Structure 1
Amino acid sequence: MSKAARKGLQVAWLLGAPVVFLGAGLVVGHTALAQEAAPAATSGDDVLQEVVVTARRRAENLKDVPVAVSAFSAEQLQAQGAVNLTDLEYKSPNTTVQVARGSNSTLIAFIRGVGQQDPLWGFEPGVGLYVDDVYIARPQGAVLDIYDVNRIEVLRGPQGTLYGRNTIGGAIKYVTRDLGDQPTANARVEIGSYNEHNIILSGSTPLSEKFAIGGAVAIYRHDGYGHNLYTGADQYNKDVVAGRISAEFKPTEKVTVKVAADQTNDMSNAKSGHRETATPSGAAPLANDYDTMAGVGDHNFVTNRGLSLTAEWAVTDEWTVKAISAYRDGYTQTNIDFDNLPQPYLDVPALYKDHQFSQELQTIYTGERLQGVAGIYYMDATSAGAFDTDVQNLGLSILTSGSVKTKSVAGFTDLSYDITDALKISLGGRYTNDDKTGSVYRAYYLGIRSPSFGGKAQAPFSVRTNYTNQRSFGEFTPRASVSYKLTPDVTTYASYSKGFKSGGFDMRGDAVLTPDTVKGYNPETVDSYEVGVKGDYLDRRLTLNMAGFYSNYTGQQVTTQVPTATGIASFVDNVGSSHIYGLELEAIAKLTRQLTAQANVGYTMAQFDKFLSYDLTSKKYVDVAGLRGFQNTPKWTTGFTLSYLLPFDDKSTLNSAATVSYRSFTQLYDTASILDQPGYTLVDLNFVWTSADDHWQVGLRAKNLTDERYRIGGYPFGSATYVNSYTAYYGAPRTITGTVGLHF
């Protein structure tokens, strides 16, 4: 099927979704819990507004939550020009949220040094992503554009006693907009640099007192920031269609049933990186960091879709029962050119697919002094894929394929008790059991391209790996905290939590080079300690949240790929142990009625205590802790925004915001290389005019105003076999976008 035909079918699916999927879908957040006051950055009030979050499964004032959490409302994100989830790393301290190397929409996330860089099938993320209450297990297609959103919360540190899936580093909650009791409609058109043209439509309407429907569709397109000088195709272009529909049924005042569906299709070209080293003929790297000479092909297609149903019953004023059922699946077909040259020195055509079903049952209690949640979580997921590694200098291709099946069962609870009006304690725990079955096949074929990817029909001349193995992983992870109100507006707290990520199987493992790969790798755990203070000062003109943390990280799972004379050796090792400590500060100051300042500062010091690396020559593990560093964990992250709300005589307003963000030196792999990114600064400007009746908005957004060049990913294959290939992927250049929005 042609790309144009696929695009037509996908748009037709989205426009027809309200008919096809009205009875199921992706959860829309709980109405009572999703309410949030207008953010300080967009308000013309004399004092800062209170921020309500649901980080602990119930509505709470942010300053009362004994958890390090950043919260951003839809209005605040719009006022600051946020486009997708990657903007969060400049707004939340000690947070990295990036597009994965060689990808347009695969998510890589780290919080406080804990995450998962390798997005291969079967690997679990260290930072959990939740769309409403549904856990998104797959990183492909998870770089969500910000549309039809109510708010986004970033929870730092291990999460497991409150959330469906245990996450070791933290969680990102993407909460969609609720259906209201009045008809609403929104339309936004954006036109900008690189022929950017986006259309976002959303709306909802009640059909009766007990039934309402809503939906949104978004089309995002822009030309490439660079070009493939070999094929002529755009590089770093965008061609995405996304949609979401939902329905809400309230048969009684105490029962609510919500259903929804969503789908995202990414038809952007395959993204090849920029070769940072000279070509085999001695030619210098291309002048434009977004250009390439890759010859593997430009085809790329990523689709994700989900269905879910949430039923909620308020049994009494204190007791609520909630059930969440969800199904998601996805498919990716893409090409990655590691050498960035026309010849297939190191080319990888690849495909991934997955599906997951999850079921969660919660019981929520809200009493005068006791509050809590208890739940059971079940997930049945399968992720699979295949890719060729085509190596011209060896005259062969390496086919790797396989799957990982996961069945996870967990029980969790988290209880808070008010000993006095000022002193509160919280205790929680979770037991997780994961059963995993991994199947891995790896074989060498003569010539470029194996039969699975269009090569000639032939038997492999060497089968390197061919096994199926099953393992079970279980762990109890507790959580405890104590908080004390120093004043009605200032709360201090101390907490302990344990995070757990189960083991698995290396889909790239070569059983000839590393025989132990058939045994899989073990879980990793984090013991995290945190103290903090949150509060409002100066008659609620200043909000200041501070936290200090210390973590012991053991069994850390690290992926290493080493070029060899006959291919590439892949390891997923439990390398040993490390410790991480740091500080975080978030502040909002109401300088005048119209002028607001916001700042976030993060400091992280992460150091390996033991790093056991497998030596292919000695066949032994060697401790190389002194030679290794943490990936995607800059020591300093800072952001500062100054917002000014200008009222006009006709009651319309102009909200302007200037943001300066800084990230210090960042190591992209645990081993230092020329790909590591020095510290850099980004400057953004955003202007939004809103009419007096709130019906019209006109905006102008400038991102990366100084046109900074900075690397967000790369591949180091520095050996003669792979023609000394170091390739890098860069963040977006300067872009300027104008918007016109209509709301009624």
Structure 2
Amino acid sequence: MNRLVKTALLAGAAWGALSGVAMAQDAASPGQATDPQASELGEIIVTARRREEALQDVPVAVTAISGETLEARGTVDITELARSTPSLTLNSARGSNSTLISFIRGVGQQDPLWGFDPGVGLYIDDVYVARPQAAVLDVFDVERIEVLRGPQGTLYGRNTIGGAIKYVTRRIGDEPEIELQGAYGSYDQFDAIASISGPINDNFGISAAVARYLRDGFGENLNTGTEHYNKDVTAARLSFEWTPTDNLFVRLAGDWVQDSSNARHGHREFAPILDNEYDTMAGAGDKNDVETRGVSLTGEWTVNDWLTLKSITAYRDGSTRGNIDFDNLAAPILDIPAQYDDDQFSQEFQALFEGDRWSGVAGVYFLDATASGAFDTVVGNFNLTTLTAGSVDTQSWSVFGDFTYDVTDALAVSVGGRFTHDEKTGTVFRQQYLGIRSPFFGNNAAVPLGGPRTDYTDTRDFEEFTPRVSVSYEISPDFTTYASWGRGFKSGGFDMRGDAVLYPDTVLGYDPETVETIELGLKGNLFDRLSFATAIFDSSYEDQQITTQYPAGATVASVVDNVGSSSIRGWEFEGSLRVSQNLVVNGMLSYIDAQFDEFLAYIPTGPLNTTCPTQPGCFVDVSDLRDFQNTPEWTGAVSATWTHWFADGSEIAFTPSAAYRGDYQQFETPAPLLDQEAFWLYDASVVWTSASDRWTVGLHGKNLSDERYKTGGYNFPGVATGDSITAFYGAPRTFTARVGVKF
């Protein structure tokens, strides 16, 4: 109750002031004309609660960005959403070009290893993407992207305790359309996108899109002469839509991504240090190949005025083959060749209800997924290789419902809940060999060193009920406030790196983690000029799953465990102000105070360990020595779009922008050479659009100040590992010219 009272008091002043402004607006300017070009949150339709609703009416903190806006900004992929969305961190994973690392409000996943679930759910057209590999989605053929902040355990289920990202592709329109786009930019960037969409007859349509992305590296592998941080990606989408009757809709859609960009090895932050942050001297190999495919079948049947039935059937699979050179030197001091494979089948049935004063959705969900892989930890100084291999099979089913009742014209109450049952079977194998690389990765001469350090198969069941309650009140036609309480959970599992010799309890696996969040929000429109949404939240994070990796003799050990609990509080604001007919200013600001209340770190036994010298190891509370990773205290952004209309009806829009991220750590433990200080990123776009909207020409500049900022890293100091302290950097300053035409 104390937490709720504190949160309510914190919100009181702001809510009272804004509510007063709302009443004053209604009284002072009842006849004020509405600018037809004004940005109004109430006009934006989203599906955050699995049904179409005006954004202003949704009692959830949601950022919705249209495809047109993303295109006008020159957005390359979804990681750029972090520049304009409150409390969001999106990066390519360390050592990867296309594996997604995502955090919302301090909750997420730094470890993309198979079997370790994300904390932010990614959805492509309502299909859950279980693995982060190839999830750095390039932006093309997209209608909008929605970012839902806070636990979404009721409607989106397991592994959405931080929130969810919904990538919504375009539906087929009533008229045929062909669209071509070409771009050329810095580092010999070349992009080509082609799409065709339209009806074949009165009830059948087809859409197809293909994209090719090429770019030279920002740096070079000075050991092999190949490009480093380059891009070589091909992506395609195909969909068929059939409407045999007015109340029946069927959509068959498929997508495919091939990423053949070179392996990304990072940059040494400890001697020897290369001058260019994008250069490397890695010798592990530059080959890298990532492929993912998906197909889905969606059916909607409008039974009557109050009931619609929906089915979503989907299958996805993917594979990754690559190398990461942790030491960034030619010799195999600490090299990691790796491969990942995954597949998933999911089936969801929904019933959507709509009455005079009530609405809602209920359904069932099933997921059958397998994630597997293998990698070598090559420690060349000891002529030693540790092979780690295994898989996790997951069968998950759930039942859910969420219903809203309008008590009065202004007051609405929503109640929802979801029950989830997970069955996970984990297989983990860990074996050391004398030699450089194991037989699994081609060295048949490698000699096993003793018996397996880990070799087990186990099955565990996890069950959880995740409810949500919200109350929303329409202060005036332009203002809505809400209060909500929700719960989410991330499933437990097995540590795929676990070494049973160093940590015997690894065979027991780890438990689920949960987040409970209280949120108060206000959305509205002031004087038909300022559209805004603001929220404060207070989260209780329990049984957090933390991966800790540390050098252990001549190898690298791992512990994944439920380390304890934490408290996360914060405030978010985003808004759009129309200053004049020609000028619109957009901005966001977010604050997060994330503190560990308990952090039980595993302390291995050893001759220098006085904490637990006679045990295999023990846990010690080190919460005062740990901080949240990938969670800056402050983030903010501001942009302004100035538009000029020519006499012939064409227009030109200039959009400069600035995004701020406070300092943050790469891991819970401070790493001075890897942790990132606060920085700004400056972008600018100029886009000309013809009067017919047929032609567009744009020039986009990114990171105009050429800021060097770290997005990830590895921290393995010591002689045995070659002081492998390596960092990965965001893109440098780039310019791109883009031309598009529609037929």
What's the TM-score once normalised by structure 2's chain length? 0.93
Conserved? CA contact 2:118–2:159, under 8 Å: no
Partner of 2:682: 683
Deviation at 1:165, TM superposition (A): 4.9
Cα displacement string for residues 162-211 of structure 1 (whole angstroms, at most 9, x for unaligned residues): 22655111000000011012101100000000000010011112111111
Q: CA deviation at 1:45?
A: 4.0
- Give the 5 Å matches for 1:262-273: 262-273=255-266
Secondary structure in 1 aligned to 2:515? strand
- Report deviation, 1:81: 2.1
Deviation digits for residues 375-424 of structure 1 (CA, Å, limit 9, x no counterpart): 10000000000001100122110000000000000011000010001001
Q: Tell me, yes or no, if the aligned pair for 1:211 and 1:248 is still in contact at 8 Å.
A: yes
Q: Say which of 582, 585, 590 aligns to 1:602.
A: 590
Tell whether the 8 Å contact from 2:265 to 2:325 is kept in structure 1 after alignment. Answer: yes
1:367 aligns to what?
355
**1:701 alignment counterpart:** 700
Q: 2:233 aligns with which of 227, 240, 244?
A: 240
- C-alpha change, 1:691 and 1:255, in structure 2 (3 Å) is same
State the Cα distance separating 1:457 from its structure 2 match.
3.8
SS state of the match for residue 721, structure 1?
coil
1:212 aligns with 2:205: yes
Alignment match, 1:558: 546
Give unmatched runs, 5+ long, in structure 1: 1-42, 280-284
Partner of 2:243: 250
Structure 1 residue 516: Cα displacement: 0.3
Asked if residue 423 in structure 1 is aligned to residue 447 in structure 2, the reply is no
Distance in 1 (alpha carbons) for counterparts of 2:353 and 2:392: 37
Matched, 1:481 2:474: no
- What amino acid sits opposite 1:589 in the alignment? L
Checking the alignment, whether the CA contact within 8 Å between 1:274 and 1:292 is kept in structure 2 is yes
Deviation string, structure 1 residues 285-316 (Cα, Å, up to 9, x no partner): 10000000000000000000001101110000
Once the two structures are TM-superposed, the CA of residue 456 in structure 1 deviates from its matched residue by 2.5
SS in structure 2 of the partner of residue 587 of structure 1: strand
Match of 2:441 among 453, 466, 472: 453
> Amino acid of the residue matched to residue 671 of structure 1?
T
Structure 2 SS opposite 1:434? strand
Identity of aligned residues (%): 56
The question of whether the paired residues in 2 share the 8 Å contact of 1:214 and 1:245 is answered with yes
Match of 2:72 in 1: 79
Which whole-Å CA distance do the structure 2 matches of 1:59 and 1:591 have between them? Answer: 30
Counterpart CA distance in 2 for 1:154 and 1:168 is 13
Give, in whole Å, the separation in 1 of the partners of 2:627 and 2:446. 43
- Mapped to 2, the partners of 1:80 and 1:333 lie a distance apart of 33
Paired residue for 2:725?
726
CA contact (8 A) 2:435 2:447 kept: no
For 2:661, the aligned partner's letter is R
Pair 1:496-2:490 in alignment: no
SS in 2 for 1:162: coil
SS in structure 2 opposite 1:340? coil
Give the Cα separation in 1 of the matches to 2:203 and 2:685. Answer: 40
Q: Is the 8 A contact 1:152 1:172 kept in 2?
A: yes
Q: For residues 241-299 of structure 1, give each alpha carbon's deviation from its aligned partner in whole angstroms, at most 9, with x where no partner exists.
A: 000000011111111110011100000000010000013xxxxx100000000000000
CA shift for structure 1 position 692: 0.6
Q: 2:435, 2:446 within 8 Å by CA — same for their partners in 1?
A: no
- CA offsets 1:650-673 (integer angstroms, 9 cap, x no match): 100011111100000011100001
Regions of 4+ moved over 6 Å: none
Contact 1:135/1:164 (<8 A) preserved: no
User: What's the secondary structure of 2:505's corresponding residue?
Assistant: helix
Superposed, which structure 2 residues align to 1:183-582 within 5 Å? 183-279=176-272, 285-462=273-450, 463-538=452-527, 540-582=528-570
Cα offset, 1:565, TM superposition: 1.2
CA distance in 2, matches of 1:191, 1:477: 48
Paired residues of 2:384 and 2:435 also in contact (CA < 8 A):
yes
Task: Give runs of aligned pairs for residues 645-664 of structure 1, distance below 5 A.
Answer: 645-664=643-662
- Partner Cα separation in structure 2 for residue 47 and residue 733 of structure 1: 34
* Deviation (angstroms), 1:44: 8.5
1:47 maps to 2:38 = yes
SS at match of 1:720: coil
Q: Deviations over 1:203-242 (max 9, x none)?
A: 1121111111111000000000000000001000000000
The equivalent residue for 1:38 is none
Kept after mapping to 1: 8 A contact 2:437/2:446:
no
Deviation at 1:47, TM superposition (A): 2.6
Task: Quote the RMSD (CA, aligned, Å).
Answer: 1.1
Match of 1:13 in 2: none
Separation in structure 1 between the aligned mates of residue 719 and residue 413 of structure 2, nearest angstrom = 60
Distance in structure 1 (CA, Å) of the matches to 2:159 and 2:733: 38
**Residue 141 of structure 1: which of 121, 134, 146 is its match?**
134
One-letter code aligned to 1:312: E
Match of 1:672 in 2: 670
Q: Is the 8 A contact 1:164 1:377 kept in 2?
A: no
Write out per-residue CA displacement over residues 532-589 of structure 1, whole angstroms, 9 at most, x where no aligned residue.
1110011x21112110000000000000001011311100010001000000001100
Give SS of 2:56's match.
helix
